[in-house]
Structure 1
Amino acid sequence: MSTSDCLFCKIVSGEIPAEVVRETDTTVAFRDINPQAPTHVLVIPREHHPTAAALASADAGLLAAVLGEAHRVAVDEGVADTGYRVVFNTGAQAGQTVFHVHAHVLGGRGLNWPPG
């Protein structure tokens, strides 16, 4: 997939609208269009990397920035103290449907284990 075909790259460029809740020079956080919890925000790097594994191999610092922003989203959304989950789906069998790495920040309700 080229970055010109990537849904999340189009959100980063402003071609496709999203309900953005946080932005930095390297990341964008926006509400999921199909929320699975009262808080369901996606945190993505502005730079295209298809999976969490690819990002970890290419730029561990950027992966850390995505995770740090996930925590800041949880704080802003009021779920940091009660608990939240950060999920990276990696690969189609794990449920990844958009191949631009993204962290799901989920909270605001009890989250059972195991998740799947």
Structure 2
Amino acid sequence: MDCVFCAIVAGDLPASTVYDDDRVLAFADIRPATTGHLLVVPKRHAADLAALEPQDGARMFQVAQRLAAGLRNSPLEPEGVNLFLADGEVAGQEVFHAHLHVLPRRTGDGFGVRADFASPSREELDRVAGLVRDALGDPG
């Protein structure tokens, strides 16, 4: 099976499961960025965010919210929690089955999103917003 997360969902590969329901499975990441790093994956294969069923995406975030609370209440006692979803190789996606990282954070843990943030003008922000808005078609 080419999709490692599909194999985990099917029970063909082991996982340290934290949560399991009819739509998603959550388990400990085998290459954790921080102690307690969890992954939430939809049981239905979706290579990326565009292919993800909206109900599965919603469930992923609902479960991630619950897991974040569980992490905060656990003896791991993180100071914060990040949710991270990489969509596409250039965004850092390495496993092409949509998945949401739940990352407990501690001061100095070394994880972070770093960038040279810009300060565009309101006109430029409006222009970019218009491009995206137009691409949506029906904003529904």
TM range (shorter): 0.7 to 0.9
1:71 to 58, 61, 65: 65
Q: How many angstroms does 1:17 deviate by?
A: 0.2
Q: What TM-score do you get using the length of structure 2 for normalisation?
A: 0.71
- Structure 1's consecutive aligned runs of 4 or more residues displaced over 6 angstroms after TM superposition are none
**Max Rg structure:** 2
Give distance in 2, aligned partners of 1:81 and 1:92: 29
Letter in 1 for 2:49: A
Q: Identity over the aligned pairs, expressed in percent?
A: 37
Q: Which has the higher contact order (CA 8 A, sep 6+)?
A: 1
Gaps of 5+ in 1: none
Q: Tell me the equivalent position of 1:53.
A: 50
Q: How many pairs does the alignment contain?
A: 110
Q: CA RMSD in A?
A: 2.2
Look up the equivalent residue of 1:49 and give its one-letter code: A
Report deviation, 1:95. Answer: 1.2
Structure 1 residues 60-88: Cα deviation after superposition (integer angstroms, max 9, x where no partner): 12111001011111112226994211111
Q: Could you tell me how far 1:108 is from its partner in structure 2?
A: 3.6
**Partner in structure 1 of residue 89 of structure 2:** 92
Amino acid at match of 2:113: P
Decide whether the 8 Å contact of 1:39 with 1:108 is kept in 2. no
Which whole-Å CA distance do the structure 1 matches of 2:90 and 2:32 have between them? Answer: 20
**Which SS does the other structure have where 1:98 is aligned?**
coil
**What's the CA shift for 1:94?**
1.2
